[in-house]
Copies of this chain bind each other. A is one copy, B any other.
Amino acid sequence: MPTSSWQEQVADKRRRLQESLPKEWLITPPPDDQLNRMDVPETCGLLTPRELEITNKADVAVVLQKLASAEWSSVEVTTAFCKRAVIAHQLTNCLAEVLFDRALRRATELDGYLAKHGSVIGPLHGLPVSLKDQFPIAGLETTMGYAAWIGKVATEDAALVQLLDDSGAVLYVRTNVPQTLMWGETHNNVFGRTVHPLNINHTPGGSSGGESALIAQHGSLLGVGSDIGGSIRVPSHFCGIFGFKPSSYRLPSYGIVNSLEGQEIIPTSIGPLSTSLTGIKLFMQAILSKEPWRKDPNTIRASWDANAYALKDRGDGQKLCFGILSSDGIMTPQPPVQRALEETKQALLRAGHAFIDWKPLKHAELVANARSIWLSDGGADYKEALVTGEHLINSMDPEADPMDVPVFRRPRDPLSAFQLWKLSKERSDLRKEYLDYWESTAAMTGTGRPVDALICPVAPYPAVRHGQTRSSFYTIPWNTLNYPSLVIPVTRVNPSIDTKPTRSEFLSADDEAVYNMYDPEHCSGFPIGLQIVGQAYQEEAVLAVGEIVMAALRTQ
């Protein structure tokens, strides 16, 4: 039994985190009124030109090539990213744990291995990889933002940690999450709030918001998050990076800590976030090459499929047809999101591809089904983690009374196992309807195939102020359906073209709120991403299509 209060334990944990940051890497914090901190890592003077050269690279393939050729040592690359991560943390509070000793030991080993054998140890040789605070590493605590989990030291690595080690990755930080993980923002009672590097009054998203803030600042080029309703995709969109939610059980989640453990009807997928699409692809290839089903009994036995990635069954990707979802009929996307869709559409047309307008099919029902399933425990899962007296966070709004429970956050009555089975059946029926709908588009695409992928918003807005995210209506349907979804950065808010239209009719109260929230000047320069969505288990095709879309956007 802990002899101290949860507040004391939290204070101690924060102190230990602070002390684990090398003193020489501490900077003078920017003034509170410097809301945009994006350029601080470059300008603070702490990073050497060489370290800036290394960490400013966005393309993970390039970094891996330089590591493999020993042009850069893993020790210097790791040191650079440790340093930049510490700077990023001081600007956005994005870290939960640092593992610098372990990282530098491993980097040294890897440099030695390369020197001795003349070849890399694995596909991610020498690359620092960050982890959301859900991946236990033997000998370390994983608190996942719960005071009660302070001091819980893991005896074993999560399956993914072992596979990353085997791949030659260097694990060096774990990143912050929201309490319970079931939020699109990032704040908990242990580590506090993670903020957006472009404006500290805004959220970097969640639940993988520590990752997105860190990666946006190039404190990491590749990290691992998890996504049950948008938790990789919303932060990727908010922060202008790439993020990928694979289908369930394509990547190994065994051994992670999580909310709603054992809930498998619409489960958590783990997946990568990165500064580059090569980072996403190389991560998927690396993990799948390590046969994750030998470590995680629930991971399906499906290697990287080179033919699917080459789009062999889609005319090698020469002429694709996309479904473009401009609105889910619940919340109209704000103007910059609409422009991102329009620019993508035009770029694809210019590149010789086609599209059809994609009407949403029962998206509200897909979201309602997921929420009913996730809340079916009546809050019992959270309660088990709040035994210390730590309060449940009921709002992400810094001004809100944390004890005041808004309607949408009220716990529901617990369901019976039998009721849960009924919801599972409902989910399968919704999946079947969507599948039939998708397959039926073969008659309209002109390619002889159903649409090759959907393109749609990630959220109806760019990164919002803390506490202002709405339900993730644009991301949850793909979890309910088990569809892989890739987020790509498409554009940035430009107030001179993304002007606010006059509107007086709204689809819903949420729609009106999203409209009212939009202020082009305020979010000027904020990133806008889009989702590229495939059918279940089409991970390789979605990544290949993502490359095609990125190429089309680059040449516009």
Contact = CB atoms under 8 A, between A and B. Distances in A.
Interface of A: 254, 260-265, 293-298, 300-302, 376-378, 380-381, 414-426, 428, 431-432, 434-435, 439, 481-482, 535-538
B414 A418 contact: yes
Nearest to A430: B297
A414 B419 CA distance: 11
Contacts of A380: 416, 418
A423 B297 contact: no
Contacts of A260: 421
Given A294-B439, A421-B262, A432 B254 contact: yes
Nearest first, the 8 closest Cβ-Cβ pairs linking A and B are A262-B421, A297-B431, A262-B424, A262-B425, A301-B537, A377-B418, A376-B417, A417-B420
Contact of A432 (B264, B296, B414, B481): B296
Contacts of A254: 428, 432
Contacts of A418: 376-378, 380-381, 414
Given A414-B417, A416-B414, A416-B417, A537 B293 contact: yes
Contacts of A262: 420-426, 428
Contact of A294 (B302, B426, B435): B435
B297 A482 contact: yes
Given A264-B424, A300-B300, A378-B418, 15 more contacts: A261-B421, A263-B421, A295-B435, A297-B434, A297-B435, A298-B428, A300-B302, A376-B417, A377-B416, A377-B417, A380-B416, A381-B421, A415-B416, A416-B417, A417-B417
Contacts of A424: 262-264
Contact of A298 (B301, B376, B431): B431
Contacts of A381: 418, 421
A111 B326 CA distance: 50
B425 A261 contact: yes
A264 B417 CA distance: 11
A301 B307 CA distance: 13
Contacts of A414: 416-418
Nearest to A295: B435
A435 B293 CA distance: 9
Nearest to A249: B300
Nearest to A267: B424
A424 to B, nearest CB: 4
A263 B422 CA distance: 9
Contacts of A431: 297-298
A434 B293 CA distance: 12
A536 B423 contact: no
A253 B130 CA distance: 40
16 contacts: A262-B422, A262-B425, A263-B421, A264-B265, A297-B428, A297-B432, A297-B434, A297-B482, A298-B431, A300-B536, A300-B537, A301-B537, A380-B416, A415-B416, A415-B417, A416-B416
